[in-house]
Amino acid sequence: MREFHARRLTKLLENTQRVDADLYSTTLYGLATVDSVLLAGIGSYVAVFDEFSSAADEYRAFRDYVAAFRRSYRVLGHVGRSFNQAAISIFTA
């Protein structure tokens, strides 16, 4: 059982992207650049945002990325009432 969980955790960590770009343009560029690479493995990845509550930057870039690439997502967890930091699972629609 321990080996099973270790493999799952390893796969999850391999498909995790930390988003610390802060600005709209760099966040959108980063998400678009790694999209096909991260989704190719298991069809989903986890993005961890450090300033997701920034409506004009990271949140807006995420919203535009999801719409442009037709991705679905699920919030896995967040810190703060205004989603200061957030971990989001992104997958093909």
pTM more than 0.85: no
- Which residues does 8 contact at the CB level (< 8 Å), separation at least 6? none
Q: How high is the pLDDT of residue 11? A: 60
Q: Number of C-alpha atoms within 13 angstroms, CB side, residue 3?
A: 0
Q: Do the Cβ atoms of 12 and 6 come closer than 8 Å?
A: no
The residue with greater pLDDT, 74 or 10, is: 74
CATH code for the structural domain at 2-92: 3.30.110
45: left (phi over 0), alpha (psi -120 to 50) or beta: beta
- Which residues does 23 contact at the CB level (< 8 Å), separation at least 6? 57
Question: 71: which strand partners?
Answer: 92
**Res. 4 pLDDT band, cuts 50 70 90:** low
